[in-house]
């Protein structure tokens, strides 16, 4: 059975103890889990977060936030090392919180665009660096799930096929693929085929509408998405990842300049969950 989660970026532009009261609300909405974005590993309060998970009854997944100073394909060895340190810290936190999925675009900084396509040298750096991270994750019982982003957020991996290629080159059981319907809707020719062809590599899904609003309210080909997930007998997480303009840091990063869902964040969560649950059953 698939599980249903929601990314806290919907309500908060950072994660620390101030976010913990959100857990009860997420549980009351009927989610199985919460996805924690890890900005600064040093400010995650493991004990308090574990307690909030326990008292809300929620499970947890974790996701990466990578900026220019955390980039595993960078020419600069110090920036590559900083990315590795960050990813290892996040794997440790995931392990301690009980998250067995650490997801996101782990291969590069979000928003890094260089005016050309990726080079073989950068690919080799990704394979080398992320192989080391997969080995570390494996020792901690965490799976890394790597997410293609649309062309306006990265030049490195835009489609599922390339994420699978990276997973094949890394060839480690703890290195898998994470697909996000928002990015797929921009880049893939056929969402059904892209998910189906990802096959056994698929370990995590972000459900998001084409405008980053409420799943089910726009033009993502949900029939194709759910047909593929059913045919794969997908039993991983379906996490709603949507954004609202009120969360300024996220709105700026994701270019959310209007009220996409008139009902706001809670309506995205409640009605989005009804939609994905009804389609996944």
In terms of Cα–Cα distance, which of 211, 206, 215 is closest to 269? 215
Range list of β-strands (E), 89-228: 101-104, 143-146, 175-180, 202-207
Quick one: tokens of 98?
Answer: 């009980």
Hunting for tokens 């649309």 — which residue is that? 150
Nearer to ligand LER, 53 or 110 (CB): 110
CA-to-CA separations, 43 to 37, 48, 53, 161, 255, in angstroms, rounded: 12, 11, 17, 35, 26
Indicate whether 188 belongs to the interface with ligand LER (CB under 6 A): no
Indicate whether 211 belongs to the interface with ligand LER (CB under 6 A): no
Nearest distance in Å: CB 54, ligand LER: 26
Residues from 46 through 105 that contact ligand LER (CB under 6 A): 63, 104
Indicate whether 206 belongs to the interface with ligand LER (CB under 6 A): yes
What is the rounded distance in angstroms from the CA atom of residue 203 to the CA atom of residue 191? 16
DSSP conformation class of 213? S
Kindly report the number of other CB atoms within 10 A of residue 206's CB atom: 25
Residues from 218 through 247 that contact Mn ion (CB under 5 A): 241
Q: Which of the stretches 21-29, 33-41, 157-165, 201-209 binds Mn ion when contact is defined by CB under 5 A?
A: 201-209
Q: Which of the stretches 25-33, 75-83, 112-120, 147-155 binds ligand LER when contact is defined by CB under 6 A?
A: 147-155
* Residue choice 32, 187, 241, 261 for contact with ligand LER (CB under 6 A): 241
Total residues contacting ligand LER by CB under 6 A comes to 11
Indicate whether 206 belongs to the interface with Mn ion (CB under 5 A): yes
Positions marked catalytic? 147, 241
Residue 81's Cβ-count burial label (10 Å; 0-12, 13-18, 19+) is: middle
Nearer to ligand LER, 104 or 213 (CB): 104
* Residue choice 180, 187, 188, 211 for contact with ligand LER (CB under 6 A): 180
Quick one: tokens of 104?
Answer: 């996101």
Nearest distance in Å: CB 253, ligand LER: 6
Nearer to ligand LER, 102 or 201 (CB): 102
Cβ atoms of 244 and 265 closer than 8 Å: yes
Give the list of residues 6+ apart from residue 183 with CB closer than 8 angstroms, or none.
147, 148, 149, 150, 153, 158
What is the rounded distance in angstroms from the CA atom of residue 216 to the CA atom of residue 81? 40
Task: Tell me which of Mn ion, ligand LER, none is bound by residue 253, counting a contact when its beta carbon lies within the kind-specific cut-off of 5 to 8 angstroms.
Answer: ligand LER
Residues binding ligand LER (CB under 6 A): 63, 104, 110, 147, 149, 153, 180, 206, 241, 253-254
């Amino acid at each position: 059975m698939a599980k249903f989660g929601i990314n806290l970026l919907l309500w908060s532009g950072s994660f620390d103890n101030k976010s913990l009261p959100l857990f009860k609300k997420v549980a009351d909405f009927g989610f199985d889990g919460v996805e924690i974005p890890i900005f600064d590993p040093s400010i995650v309060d493991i004990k308090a977060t574990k307690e909030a998970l326990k008292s809300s009854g929620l499970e947890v997944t974790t996701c990466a936030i990578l900026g220019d100073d955390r980039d595993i394909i960078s020419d600069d060895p110090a920036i590559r090392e900083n990315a590795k340190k960050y990813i290892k810290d996040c794997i440790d936190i995931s392990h301690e919180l009980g998250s067995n999925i650490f997801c996101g675009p782990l291969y590069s900084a979000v928003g890094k665009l260089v005016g050309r396509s990726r080079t073989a040298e950068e690919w080799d750096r990704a394979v080398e660096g992320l192989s080391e991270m997969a080995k570390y994750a494996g020792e901690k019982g965490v799976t890394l799930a790597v997410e293609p982003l649309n062309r306006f957020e990265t030049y490195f991996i835009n489609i599922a096929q390339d994420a699978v290629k990276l997973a094949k080159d890394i060839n480690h059981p703890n290195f898998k693929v994470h697909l996000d319907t928002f990015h797929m809707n921009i880049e893939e020719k056929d969402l059904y085929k892209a998910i189906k062809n990802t096959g056994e590599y698929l370990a995590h899904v972000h459900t998001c509408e084409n405008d980053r609003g409420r799943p089910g309210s726009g033009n993502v080909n949900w029939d194709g998405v759910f047909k593929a997930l059913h045919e794969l007998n997908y039993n991983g997480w379906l996490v709603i990842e949507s954004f609202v303009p009120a969360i300024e840091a996220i709105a700026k990063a994701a270019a959310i300049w209007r009220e996409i869902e008139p009902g706001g964040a809670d309506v995205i969560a409640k009605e989005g969950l009804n939609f994905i649950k009804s389609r996944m059953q």
